Amino acid sequence: MKKLFYILFLLVLVPKSGFAQGSKIDQLLFSTLIESKAYIDKGKVADYIPELSKANKNLVGVALVDSLGNLHTKGDTKSKFTMQSISKVIALMLAVEERGEKYVFERMGYYGTDKPFNSFEALEYRHKPLNPMMNAGAIVTTALIKGKDDEAYKKILERVRYITKNEDININEAVYQSEKETGNRNRGMFYLLKNFGLFDAENEESLNNYFRQCSIEVNAEDLAKIGYFFAHNGTRFDGDKTFYNPEISKLIKSIMLTAGMYDYSGEYSSKIGIPSKSGVGGGIMASVPGKIGIGTFNPSLDEQGNSVPGLYIMEKLSKELNLSIF
Amino acid sequence: MKKLFYILFLLVLVPKSGFAQGSKIDQLLFSTLIESKAYIDKGKVADYIPELSKANKNLVGVALVDSLGNLHTKGDTKSKFTMQSISKVIALMLAVEERGEKYVFERMGYYGTDKPFNSFEALEYRHKPLNPMMNAGAIVTTALIKGKDDEAYKKILERVRYITKNEDININEAVYQSEKETGNRNRGMFYLLKNFGLFDAENEESLNNYFRQCSIEVNAEDLAKIGYFFAHNGTRFDGDKTFYNPEISKLIKSIMLTAGMYDYSGEYSSKIGIPSKSGVGGGIMASVPGKIGIGTFNPSLDEQGNSVPGLYIMEKLSKELNLSIF
Amino acid sequence: MKKLFYILFLLVLVPKSGFAQGSKIDQLLFSTLIESKAYIDKGKVADYIPELSKANKNLVGVALVDSLGNLHTKGDTKSKFTMQSISKVIALMLAVEERGEKYVFERMGYYGTDKPFNSFEALEYRHKPLNPMMNAGAIVTTALIKGKDDEAYKKILERVRYITKNEDININEAVYQSEKETGNRNRGMFYLLKNFGLFDAENEESLNNYFRQCSIEVNAEDLAKIGYFFAHNGTRFDGDKTFYNPEISKLIKSIMLTAGMYDYSGEYSSKIGIPSKSGVGGGIMASVPGKIGIGTFNPSLDEQGNSVPGLYIMEKLSKELNLSIF
Amino acid sequence: MKKLFYILFLLVLVPKSGFAQGSKIDQLLFSTLIESKAYIDKGKVADYIPELSKANKNLVGVALVDSLGNLHTKGDTKSKFTMQSISKVIALMLAVEERGEKYVFERMGYYGTDKPFNSFEALEYRHKPLNPMMNAGAIVTTALIKGKDDEAYKKILERVRYITKNEDININEAVYQSEKETGNRNRGMFYLLKNFGLFDAENEESLNNYFRQCSIEVNAEDLAKIGYFFAHNGTRFDGDKTFYNPEISKLIKSIMLTAGMYDYSGEYSSKIGIPSKSGVGGGIMASVPGKIGIGTFNPSLDEQGNSVPGLYIMEKLSKELNLSIF
């Protein structure tokens, strides 16, 4: 019924409103956005970090940076939300830049998995994380970025600002404090990882940097630009090539495909086929190699921690624009 | 020293011999083949199935079907070996054709994993296999193909013959008997899977079909043609589209990327980035979406069960021809 | 309410009926039996083997062989049921007699566990069963008893008949056929165990012997006699010492304490403190070292597979007669 | 050779020296002590906590409190060492006294296991420790003892002093600091356990109390008195019954049998059959129900963390004095 209503709304009202005017891609983004709203009630807002539970479930936004670097947006693409796991991609980039791929991946695996993002099971038998997209792995990559106190975090923030050319991006202090206070599972993993000698860290500042990077606030447009950046091997949407690096970019896209959507990654790879990374703040950042970047936002999550409307948008765009890499 | 010898051989002798004359791609295949031989001694021939241990470690072959469907070959590309796990791809194709993706994947996952190909751990807590590329998953897909006695196997054989247009392809009876006699781990999994109600199977014939499909003998050229077939969504190298099916083809390439190279899949995806499937008979079948198919053969395996020279060839070709999908 | 009814029944009717006349121990057995019936509805009859589901939930019996070898019984102590896991104790005895403790325990562990009786998880990482009281372990002990075809089973049957001095004990053919037909989980473990080289077995007859021993029909009195036999280090209730063996008897009592009540063993050890073995046929066989043997029967099982009224009876007797070994 | 030397020493020199004069039990203790020294080189001193590695491998002591409360000692029974895991028994006692068995065991299991003492695997799938003798479980029991800052630790210390009537017992500050500094694995578990809501703890003082209790220094005589205390259900060796409590004592002895010797517990139970608890400081505390207490000391440990000479002594005494509870 609800779906029917949206389709009617789309057919009847939209042409009159004039919102969907413009290019074919804008029309597709708009119709997909409208349709995706039917999925809002199929998920729920993350509540394991108290601050996250305050998110507005009804906000939906989709942004796309096309192959020429032009931005297309529909819906709530200016609404801010915290990066959460999407920040893991940036931390991985910096760790590999500073330490080299070999050094980093001696301290974690390249594995896909059926385990949830916060699993610590592998630490018992493997003594290192399965991959850099799970919490355990990202705690290590952040700890491998050089610098005292909050320097690693600042590097991550700077890189996000660079890629998005958005100097307004900043930390959400309330979320950071909330993550820190309730982050005992991550804290537990931090000490286990330290015990296995995966990094030197004098105190919990390194863990705090992980909490901080997760609390960086972006919007869907920023995510689309990040997606574009990796799609074009480190070329910014405006053509700047300061951090151009095909090797690291390919590595990151590969890891995103294998493990970027948590334990849904394998199925997502089959159904959608685009290297993507989601965060429990509600964002999905997708990177179509050599082509476009996509950012979606809606905080209604499924059990794996992925936005349900976000997944719908990604699947629709993948099919309509033939974006699967397979 | 050995490597140096090969390079000298390449520089001095080859031009005179005239072998490497021809297109750029033929030259690349030839030099890569020669270089790969330096890796023969870094692996060892599979011995857990007695018949496999008889393989000749020194045979190396590489075949490539280019985007126009033309075959390029160097080395021992006519040498026969058994498909082993590569047959899992064909079994998956048939199972999905006959039962639908939903039905098949209600009985197994899409997961990547850090577990070896013969792991049964997931059956304990998940009551189904992690993916169709592990033995457990492939036993299920084969059992889901309809037909009595050895009909499922015959369908697989027919499909392999069709894709390769090679009616000479047949079972290696000695390997089949050897697999059957020593296959108690697979037999154990077969009964556990049956216990979890994943398939109906009156007797062990369904398991025997799995052993049979593993024992189908192909050569590197056949593998290149299979790779081409999936690269072009089910179009045969001669353009025949009898089994054209983009959905199943994308599914298969995605699953190969996630899990085709056993627990090395994640790292292979980062380093090489081509949907591929290897077998302990020594073959690697690779499928570059929309482009080419590659087949390699050499039975000297690393600990994960992948051919060491085969991996070298794939990495070299991926870099030189820019084949990574990322 | 129900409980109150039983107590009233006990206080008002029983003295008139004269059933509870006799020794203090007989009175205790009787009152405990009556009280235990209040727990019948807290469990349910095993249904994973179709034949077992036919058991009558309302039958309850308790038998005790006192330190002088005298039998005391109350309730349905003549009702037959299959030994199921209780037979594992006899198989262990015979395997150790024939092969020695060292040989047997090189092929399995002495471990307690939180895993259910039919778990095969340990086979993956340990390549042997955790202990001889889990299905996997018992399949091995049975396979280690020498003899062709059904000889191992016949030895087990003979030993049960000897210990109980009851030549009427025999197999329940319907249960055996049912176990065999539906025993794919055990069959799967059998082949995995065989794969790990834990025993030689030409065919499935060895597994069938396991199914056969589980299908031996006994009653609560027989169990009490078995309990007495191990309590007195291999002395039969009538004083016969043909199989007197303190070492094996201590081993068996120890293993029963550690693992005899499945994953409830640890808690049972704390609450009741008597080496015991239960079976999903509804029996519990208990052995108080140097003192008495107890047998209970009622097929209403809890989630771990132990009879709920049986557990009540054991706890009551342990407290009233101060039977805990701790 | 070495063993032969000891036996000669025993036969020839000892009678002259007069050391072994006295009761039969003293003679047994003495000969056992001498024999046990042959096993010193079969183990090695714990080194995962730097301070522990300073222990003198050649010190061996055995103490026994007989059923009348009389102390018998041979060897280095005045040598001090830290309690380590043996303190877990006292923490369990206090936690159950203050919170009740039900409350405590809703937060951990009664399970035996094949996992090492520092395993955290069960926390992933069970969200609580397997038993109170593993590190994870003991961190919880200590955290459940009421009191701020180091009060829980002080209660444990007081109880140890009470049971042993030894006011000289105190913490080894160097070991405590060493445990605290290198205890990241335990620290990791502490935060995971806190995350699962198993206890309230404002800061790491609760974990520090765990480190403190492990660092309490005792000698073999103290351990024998602790063993006696639990053997007699909370009666001190001098007859004092301030903490008499059969229920808790039986619980503790049962848990020691199931899990007191780490993953060797099952085999120890079969071979020796006495509720015992060992510590990586080199101590073993054993409690023969209703009879005697034994304490042994020697810091040469096997892979499970048990003293090799200590195990020899326990096995010899169990056999010679018929102490097995089975």
DSSP string of D285-304, one letter each residue: EEE-TTS-EEEEE---B-TT
Q: Is A186 annotated as a binding residue?
A: yes
pLDDT band at residue C15 using 50, 70 and 90 as cut-offs: very low
**For range C229-249, the mean pLDDT:** 98
Could you read off the pLDDT of D133-152 as tens digits, one per residue?
999 999 999 999 999 999 99
Question: Which two tokens mark D293?
Answer: 């207490």
| pLDDT at B241 (0 to 100) | 98
Residue C13, pLDDT above cutoff 50: no
Q: For residue A326, count CB atoms less than 10 angstroms from its CB and return exposed for 0-12, middle for 13-18, buried for 19 or more.
A: buried
| pLDDT at C16 (0 to 100) | 40
Strands (E), chain C: 61-65, 71-75, 81-82, 170-171, 216-218, 276-278, 283-287, 293-297
> Is there a contact between B112 and A111 if contact means CB atoms under 8 Å apart?
yes
> Is there a contact between B114 and A114 if contact means CB atoms under 8 Å apart?
no
Active site residue ranges of D: 85, 88, 210, 262, 280
| pLDDT at A300 (0 to 100) | 97
Interface test with C, best of B127, B191, B199 (most C CBs within 10 A): B191
> Which residues 122-161 on chain A approach chain D with CB closer than 8 angstroms?
123-125
User: Is B106 within 8 Å of chain A by CB?
Assistant: no
| pLDDT at C12 (0 to 100) | 47
| pLDDT at C8 (0 to 100) | 52
The alpha carbon torsion through C272, C274, C277, C280 (nearest 10 deg) reads: -20
The helix (run of H) or strand (run of E) holding residue B322 is none
Q: Which CATH superfamily is domain B30-320 in?
A: DD-peptidase/beta-lactamase superfamily (3.40.710.10)
What's the gap in Å between the CA of A250 and the closest CA on chain D? 33
DSSP string of A70-127, one letter each residue: -EEEEESTT--EE-GGGHHHHHHHHHHHHH-HHHHHTSS-----SS-TT--HHHHHHS
Q: Which residues contact B221 (CB under 8 A, 6 or more apart)?
A: B63, B71, B73, B77, B78, B164, B295
pLDDT band at residue D18 using 50, 70 and 90 as cut-offs: very low
> Is there a contact between C326 and D110 if contact means CB atoms under 8 Å apart?
no
> Which residues 188-217 on chain A approach chain D with CB closer than 8 angstroms?
188-195
| Distance from the Cα of residue C217 to its chain's centroid | 12
Could you read off the pLDDT of A243-252 as tens digits, one per residue?
999 999 999 9
pLDDT band at residue A51 using 50, 70 and 90 as cut-offs: confident
What's the gap in Å between the CA of A173 and the closest CA on chain B? 35
Q: Is B249 annotated as a binding residue?
A: no
Q: Which residues contact D61 (CB under 8 A, 6 or more apart)?
A: D33, D73, D74, D75, D76, D77, D78, D79, D219, D220, D295, D296, D297, D298
Q: Which residue do the tokens 């997209």 mark?
A: A133
**In percent, how much of chain A has pLDDT > 90?**
90
User: Is B45 within 8 Å of chain C by CB?
Assistant: no
Residue A20, pLDDT above cutoff 50: no
| Residue-averaged pLDDT of chain A | 94
**C218 φ/ψ angles, rounded to the nearest 5 degrees:** -130, 180
Are the CB atoms for A178 and A133 separated by under 8 Å? no
Geometric angle at alpha carbon A224, from A223 and A228, rounded to 5°: 115
Q: Which residues contact B147 (CB under 8 A, 6 or more apart)?
A: B154, B155
Chain B hits for A249, Cβ within 8 Å:
326
Instruction: Answer yes or no: is the ipTM higher than 0.85.
Output: yes
User: Is D277 within 8 Å of chain A by CB?
Assistant: no
**C71 φ/ψ angles, rounded to the nearest 5 degrees:** -95, 135
Residue C18, pLDDT above cutoff 50: no
Question: Which two tokens mark A56?
Answer: 């507005």
| pLDDT at C23 (0 to 100) | 85
> Is there a contact between A188 and D189 if contact means CB atoms under 8 Å apart?
yes
d(C-alpha B21, C-alpha B14), whole Å: 9
N- to C-terminal Cα separation, chain C? 35
pLDDT band at residue A14 using 50, 70 and 90 as cut-offs: very low
Helices (H) and strands (E) in chain A, counts: 15, 8
| pLDDT at A50 (0 to 100) | 86
**In percent, how much of chain C has pLDDT > 70?**
93
| pLDDT at D3 (0 to 100) | 58
Is B262 among the catalytic positions?
Answer: yes
Q: Which residue do the tokens 């057995």 mark?
A: C29
Question: Which two tokens mark D131?
Answer: 């038993």
**D262 φ/ψ angles, rounded to the nearest 5 degrees:** 60, -145
Residue D189, pLDDT above cutoff 90: yes
**For range C290-298, the mean pLDDT:** 98
Provide the sign of the torsion angle of the four alpha carbons D241, D247, D248, D254, taken in this order: positive
Chain B hits for A269, Cβ within 8 Å:
110, 254, 257-258
| pLDDT at C295 (0 to 100) | 98
Count of alpha carbons within 13 Å of C137, Cβ hemisphere only? 32
**In percent, how much of chain C has pLDDT > 90?**
90
User: Is B184 within 8 Å of chain C by CB?
Assistant: yes
Are the CB atoms for C284 and C316 separated by under 8 Å? no
d(C-alpha B127, C-alpha B118), whole Å: 15
| pLDDT at D20 (0 to 100) | 41
Q: Closest residue of B to A105, CA-based?
A: B267
Residue C326, pLDDT above cutoff 80: yes
Q: Closest residue of B to C187, CA-based?
A: B191
DSSP three-state, residue C95: helix
d(C-alpha A316, C-alpha A319), whole Å: 5
Domain C31-320, CATH: 3.40.710.10
Is A175 among the catalytic positions?
Answer: no
Residue D256, pLDDT above cutoff 90: yes
Residue C301, pLDDT above cutoff 90: yes
Q: Is C96 annotated as a binding residue?
A: no
| pLDDT at D202 (0 to 100) | 86
d(C-alpha C180, C-alpha C173), whole Å: 10
d(C-alpha C108, C-alpha C95), whole Å: 12
Are the CB atoms for A121 and A129 separated by under 8 Å? no
Residue D238, pLDDT above cutoff 70: yes
Residue D231, pLDDT above cutoff 60: yes
Could you read off the pLDDT of C121-140 as tens digits, one per residue?
999 999 999 999 999 999 99
| pLDDT at D271 (0 to 100) | 97
The helix (run of H) or strand (run of E) holding residue B205 is helix B205-214
The helix (run of H) or strand (run of E) holding residue D217 is strand D216-218
Each residue's pLDDT expressed in tens, for chain B with a length of 326 residues: 555 555 555 444 444 433 444 689 999 999 999 999 999 999 999 988 888 999 999 999 999 999 999 999 999 999 999 999 999 999 999 999 999 999 999 999 999 999 999 999 999 999 999 999 999 999 999 999 999 999 999 999 999 999 999 999 999 999 999 999 999 999 999 999 999 999 999 899 999 999 999 999 999 999 999 999 999 999 999 999 999 999 999 999 999 999 999 899 999 999 999 999 999 999 999 999 999 999 999 999 999 999 999 999 999 999 999 999 99
| pLDDT at B22 (0 to 100) | 62
Topology of domain A30-321 in CATH is Beta-lactamase (3.40.710)
The amino acid present at A101, given as its one-letter code, is E
The amino acid present at D4, given as its one-letter code, is L
Question: Which chains have at least 3 CB atom pairs separated by less than 8 Å from chain B?
Answer: A, C
> What is the per-residue burial (b if ≥16 Cβ within 10 Å, else e) of B196-215?
bebbebeeebbbbbbbbbbb
**For range C78-106, the mean pLDDT:** 98
**For range A133-141, the mean pLDDT:** 98
- Select from D119, D187, D193 the Cβ nearest to the Cβ of A124: D119
Interface test with A, best of B102, B110, B324 (most A CBs within 10 A): B110
> Is there a contact between C191 and B191 if contact means CB atoms under 8 Å apart?
yes
Task: Report the DSSP beta bridge partners of residue A294.
Answer: A64, A286
Question: Which chains have at least 3 CB atom pairs separated by less than 8 Å from chain D?
Answer: A, C
